[in-house]
Amino acid sequence: MEDRIIKTEYSEEMQKSFIDYAMSVIVARALPDVRDGLKPVQRRTLYDMYELGIRYDRPYRKSARIVGDTMGKYHPHGDSSIYDALVVMAQAFKKGLPLVDGHGNFGNIEGDGAAAMRYTEARLQKITQEAFLADLDKDVVDFIPNFDETETEPSVLPVKVPNLLINGSEGIAVGMATNIPPHNLGEVVDAMKAYMLNEDITTRELMQYIKGPDFPTGGIVINKDELPDIYETGAGKIRIRGKVEVEKLKGGRTGVIITEIPYTMIGANISKFLTDVAALAESKKTQDIVDISNQSSKEGIRICIELRKDADTENFINLLYKKTHLEDTFGVNMLAIADGRPETLGLKGILKAVVDFQYEVNTRKYNHLLERELEKKEIQEGLIKACNVIDLVIEILRGSKDRQMAKDCLVLGKTDGIRFKSKESQIMAAQLAFTEKQANAILEMRLYKLIGLEIEALIKEHEETLANIYRYEDILDRRESMAQVIIEELDAIKKEYSTPRRTVIENGEEAVYKEKAFEEMDVYVLLDRFGYARTIDLGTYERNTETILSESRYAICMKNNGRLALFTENGDMHSIRLPELPQGKLRDKGIPVDNVSNYDSSRDRILLAYDQALLPGTKFLFVTSRGLCKIVDGSEFETSSRRTISATKLGDGDTLVAVLPIREQLYVTLHSANGFFLRFALEDLPEQKKTAAGVRGMKLDAKDHLEEAVLTGPTDVVMLQTGTREVSVNTIKLMKRDNKGTKLR
């Protein structure tokens, strides 16, 4: 047992194990190979579909079958990763060149996921079969054992085009990530041909063919001048904008129509964009928006933002570019596996790796084809030679006792044991020297091959074989000939599968949004008992004063750029910027103050709403449920942020019952839950800091607590409810602070 225990340093073992894990993730899962542009899971899925015979011209097969077969044979990492890869390869809005033909719900551009694999079906696209999986039977790539060594799989697919550029890639490994944008197939093919014809070509010269990324979602790349440096180094930031059109709608209103979105907006970011646009209206960054609607369909993106008649459309579009993801950044990091290790490659580096791979693949292909043609030539020459001496061959066959005797005569000239019609035939037979393969072909030849037309066809086929051998040897011997073959294949692929460019490349001007000069004015802030707030103009308030006062808990006249202070029973003060509140009509509901402050209506209660501009110069009375009182100067609560500040110090279990602004009142009246009332002069209370706990205003029994407090002047008539009776504050005996008070229940 001791011999099996390996003693090692813990840190060394951790380092080794982590490096092994990291390299496994980098090489075997997260990063694509520069040669075929595929990650292992993609490569294995496509190869499995090829092996299952799920071709473009055959019926679809269930995705679950493909996923299960791939997982069982080649990729033992869970079905979700395989199905996710299959789905992405079928999504035309993510891939410039979809490799899988999906049938069923494979998700959409707005972020809805694909249906479960048991519902969807798939098969290979035609280009995948012709440009990715062709020639696998010609020994063009190495086959390696699968994870349990029961099958073999290709280490790389013999892809004929630079798929890494055409479809791009994204992946996160350990300590590194790749993010390669998709490009236009026709442009990439032209650039690859240009590199093959001149390997000293520069990146800027290559960009005469590849203008820049070509995203499936279209859009506009606006930093054209920065692209050469990005493609030189393989890293940088591409700035993309959505495409916006302006339409005239009914009623004379203007419609800003978004027909193409940035590639980075695919998925949930579309709904986030709509939310961000709505937030611009709610926060009053713009008051031009009348309506927002997402009218997108299978035909394409169409997001309509309806503006007011007098809206500055250009300024509004610039606002969208500035404040939403309609203008976004695509971070380029062209990291791929090259020669077995991760490497950041520029445009020329990727093309070099792909071209070198094409020469390697074609060298192996034409060596394989040449071997097959040489075998055919050998057999054809033997059959032609046999036809010339067919009578002798038949005599040998008829005179032999078994196949081996006849074969030895054809190959070695052995005539022992064979019955010949004449001595001349035996002498001629002894001179035969067919090869092993020729002899087998002669012995297996059928009699109908002796027909004159069949012999002519054999001679013609032999001539074709000789021509093929000459052609293959020329391709293998001369690099120019092989380059021509590769270029012809590229031209054929481009002719059949290239599409027009979708993304516009230009140097766009910086979006400049001019904010309208803020017009300061008086408004009324309305806060109802449910915690919803809004503002209305003075005219609306004056016309509907009675209705507003009956429905609102607070109605405060303030400047529209001011701040509203909310004091709560938990001893906090929340600050709300009025521009964040919606300005609406009389019957508009408003928004919860929770949305524009840190106030939580489920755990706290508002005691006082006050104009924050009036806090300095105003003194406030604070009263807690345990009978503590104090006067605090309003300047203590000045703040310029939205954050919450502590307005007073509270003991455990204590809460505020009242925060009252002091104007010309002289007396304080406290009312407890057990029906005790205490009225005393306001001057009996000290002025303290907000951090002080206060002094005792009223003595309370152990099970009693204060319910309310009021401030009154000498002539004020205020009624308080206690039990079933109402009590006038003026009738309560005036006492000193810190008394138990009078019970009036």
* Residue 655 identity: T
pLDDT band at 39 (very low <50, low <70, confident <90, very high): very high
Specify the pLDDT at position 453: 63
- CA-derived radius of gyration, the chain: 43
Q: What is the mean pLDDT of residues 643-670?
A: 90
Q: Which of 50, 119, 359, 532 is catalytic?
A: 119
pLDDT digits (tens, 9 = 90+) for 685-736: 999 999 999 999 999 998 899 999 999 988 888 888 877 788 888 888 889 9
Is 290 strand, coil or helix? Answer: strand
Q: What is the mean pLDDT of residues 378-388?
A: 83
2 pLDDT exceeds 60?
no
pLDDT band at 335 (very low <50, low <70, confident <90, very high): very high
Q: What is the chain's mean pLDDT, rounded? A: 88
Is 498 strand, coil or helix? Answer: coil
Is 23 strand, coil or helix? Answer: helix
Specify the pLDDT at position 580: 81
Establish whether 119 is a catalytic residue.
yes
SS3 helix, strand, coil % of the chain, rounded to 5?
40, 25, 35
d(CA 656, CA 706): 9
Contact present, 508 and 222 (Cβ < 8 Å): yes
d(CA 67, CA 77): 11
**In this structure, how many other beta carbons lie within 10 angstroms of the beta carbon of residue 361?**
21
**In this structure, how many other beta carbons lie within 10 angstroms of the beta carbon of residue 563?**
22
Comparing 391 with 132, the larger pLDDT belongs to 132
28 pLDDT exceeds 70?
no
pLDDT digits (tens, 9 = 90+) for 495-509: 999 999 999 999 988
Q: What is the mean pLDDT of residues 362-386?
A: 89
pLDDT digits (tens, 9 = 90+) for 99-154: 999 999 999 998 888 999 999 999 999 999 999 999 999 999 999 999 899 999 99
pLDDT band at 1 (very low <50, low <70, confident <90, very high): very low
pLDDT digits (tens, 9 = 90+) for 216-258: 999 999 999 999 999 999 999 999 999 999 988 877 788 999 9
Specify the pLDDT at position 15: 75
356 pLDDT exceeds 50?
yes
Specify the pLDDT at position 57: 93
Q: Which of 251-255, 273-277, 381-385 is the most confident on average?
A: 273-277
Contact present, 297 and 230 (Cβ < 8 Å): no
446 pLDDT exceeds 90?
no
Q: Phi first, then psi: what are they for 728, rounded to 5°?
A: -80, 130
Question: What is the per-residue burial (b if ≥16 Cβ within 10 Å, else e) of 70-102?
Answer: bbebbbebeeebbbebbbbbbbebbbbbbbbbb
- Within the chain, how many helices (H) and strands (E) appear? 20, 36
* Cα 2 from chain centre: 52
Contact present, 151 and 52 (Cβ < 8 Å): no
Specify the pLDDT at position 231: 96
**Which are the contacts of 702, defined by CB distance < 8 A and separation ≥ 6?**
none
Percent of the chain with pLDDT over 90: 54
Q: What is the mean pLDDT of residues 25-51?
A: 88
The mean-pLDDT minimum among 270-279, 447-456, 674-683 falls in 447-456
pLDDT digits (tens, 9 = 90+) for 561-576: 888 999 999 999 999 8
The enclosing H or E element of 353 equals helix 347-388
Comparing 664 with 226, the larger pLDDT belongs to 226
pLDDT band at 214 (very low <50, low <70, confident <90, very high): very high
Q: What is the mean pLDDT of residues 185-190?
A: 96
pLDDT digits (tens, 9 = 90+) for 155-177: 999 999 999 999 999 988 777 88
Specify the pLDDT at position 516: 64
Q: What is the mean pLDDT of residues 72-84?
A: 92
Specify the pLDDT at position 151: 92
Q: Which domains does the chain have, with CATH numbers?
A: 19-180 (3.90.199.10), 243-325 (3.30.1360.40), 357-497 (1.10.268.10), 518-559+571-600 (no CATH), 615-745 (2.120.10.90)
d(CA 447, CA 443): 11
Q: How many CA atoms lie within 13 A of 351 on its CB side?
A: 26
317 pLDDT exceeds 60?
yes
pLDDT band at 642 (very low <50, low <70, confident <90, very high): low
d(CA 580, CA 590): 11
The mean-pLDDT minimum among 224-228, 539-543, 741-745 falls in 741-745
